[in-house]
Amino acid sequence: MTADLGINFVATEHHDTYPAINPSRSDLKGKVVFITGASKGIGRSMAIAFAQAGVSGLILAARSDMSATKAAVEAAQRPGHQIKVLTVALDASNLAQVESAAAKVEETFGRVDILVNNAGYLGAYGLIGDSDPQEAWKAWSVNVLGTYAVTRAFLPLVLKSSDKTIIIIGSLAGLAKMPNLSAYQTSKLALLRFTELLMTEYGDKGILALCVHPGVIETDMADQVPDVKAGGFGTVDTPELSAHTLTWLVRERRDWLAGRYVSSQWDMEELSAKKQEIIQGDKLKVKMVV
Separation CA 58–CA 85 (nearest Å):
5
Pick left, alpha or beta for residue 121 (phi over 0 → left; psi -120 to 50 → alpha; otherwise beta): beta
Q: Which of these is catalytic: 40, 148, 188, 202? A: 188
List 121, 184, 202, 261, catalytic entry: 184
DSSP notation for the chain: --GGGTTTSSS-B-SS--GGG-GGG---TT-EEEEES-SSHHHHHHHHHHHHTT-SEEEEEESS--HHHHHHHHHHSPTT---EEEEEE--TT-HHHHHHHHHHHHHHTS--SEEEE--------S-GGG--HHHHHHHHIIIIIHHHHHHHHHHHHHHTSSS-EEEEE--GGGT---TT-HHHHHHHHHHHHHHHHHHHHHGGGT-EEEEEE---B--TTGGG-HHHHTTTTSSPBPHHHHHHHHHHHTTS--GGGTT-EEETTB-HHHHHHTHHHHHHHT-SS-----
Active-site residue, 138 included: no
Specify whether 188 is catalytic.
Answer: yes
Q: Which residues does the annotation mark as catalytic?
A: 184, 188
